[in-house]
Amino acid sequence: MNLAFKDIRHNFGRFLLTGLGIGMLLMVVMAMGGIYRGLITEGTLIIDRLGADIWVVQRGTRGPFAETSRVPRSLVDRVAAVPGVAAAREYVTHPVQREHGGEVLRMIVTGLSWPTDRGEWLPLIAGRALRQNHYEMIADQILGLSLGDRMKLGKDTYTVVGITRGMTSWAGDGAAFFAVNDAQAIQFDQSGEAIRLQRAARQARAEVQDYGRAQPALLERAFRPASEIPALGPPQVSAIMAWVAPGADGDRVVSTIGGWEDVSAITHEGQQDLILKGAVARSRRQLGLFRVLLIIVSAIVMALILYTLTLDKLRAIALLKLIGAPNRVVLGLILQQAVLLGAVGYVLAYVLGQRLFPLFPRKIVLVTEDLVELGLIVLALSIAASGLGVWRAIRVSPGEALAG
């Protein structure tokens, strides 16, 4: 009978508890890798779902995801007129933090270009897409809202008509989808007193100007809402999305729009790189460093455990040597136990992770490549960690079996 299996059967409880401890440690390593992948997935999720070929943003910015961008809503017509552009839509996005049901609720408000985009492309798990231009919203399930819930944002109240899954920002905040007009109303909402003070300041500026003194009627217009003053444009959007027509030269379209002095044109791949190399780059590096540190700690812990197990068997090893067993038998005993311990820990880490990872607040994405890589690392760690136990076993003298 294999000595390693015989020894494990004799001390099965201790072996299982040891494997569970290593499994919990490896589960944390697995979780770190999954969070790392989750950051990449969350960072580019909405960009991939929207599928726009070109993002037209404010000149000199890297918006709308990496930083704030503001462009006039009328820009959508100018972009749509560029040769090679099949379609163009406005896009609005901005973070909002409110209290709902006694808890802090943080969401990414996303404006859909009504009526062209009603949110049919969203992965709905309940409810429906938007049917009207106002007062409806689609919320990600991470926000904890239910169908029919009503939420006050700004001066209006919105009803949840759809629930989606997995639509989060790179920061892990759930997305809420509105028509563009509603998203802008939420973004530029001001209190009544703030609006009154803004109008009064506008009127005061007009009074000290020559045209204000020459045309007193203009002072009355200065105190009216900003949307009714021709010199002041309507609220701006975050970006314009454009799709290149089949067969058209996308690079030429980007070059044409990028030549305009007021905006920048960013490709789909460029927008992804801006997120991965900018907003989430530091978090990715930190998670990667933690993962490396945990692997090193796992190796040290496994080495100490195997060394302790070897110390418990020193008398048995000495007896084996006394009856003439070669060193390879002793080495095989320790090495096989180390590999089995690593394998049990890895399996337990995976099984426990499948149960616990969905409960984590951040998305954990396990891919086959990472699991295979971690399996190979565990195998290498098991073999390396057995070195300390092997070193101690080789130094055992057969005479120790006769010692009292």
Domain boundaries of the chain, sorted by first residue = 3-42+281-401, 50-279
Give the CA-trace dihedral at 27, 28, 33, 35, to 10 degrees: 110
The interaxial angle of helices 12-50 and 368-394, nearest 10 deg, is: 150
54 and 395 Cβ atoms separated by less than 8 Å: no
> What's the pLDDT at 1?
38
The residues, any chain, with a CB within 8 Å of residue 355's CB and separated by 6 or more, are none
Distances from the Cα of 153 to the Cαs of 44, 63, 68, in angstroms? Answer: 27, 24, 21
**97 φ, ψ (degrees, to nearest 5):** -130, 120
111 and 94 Cβ atoms separated by less than 8 Å: no
pLDDT (mean) for 341-352 = 89
Per the listing, tokens 């009074």 go with 207
> pTM of the predicted model, to two decimals?
0.72
Distances from the Cα of 243 to the Cαs of 93, 117, 125, 178, in angstroms? Answer: 19, 14, 27, 21
Query: What percentage of residues in the chain have a pLDDT greater than 70?
Result: 77
The span from the CA of 170 to the CA of 272, in Å, is: 11
Query: What percentage of residues in the chain have a pLDDT greater than 90?
Result: 17
For strands 174-179 and 103-112, give the pairing: parallel
For strands 136-140 and 156-164, give the pairing: parallel
List pLDDT tens digits, range 232-275.
Answer: 556 788 899 999 999 888 889 999 998 888 899 999 888 888 88
List pLDDT tens digits, range 170-205.
Answer: 777 889 999 998 998 888 776 667 667 766 766 666
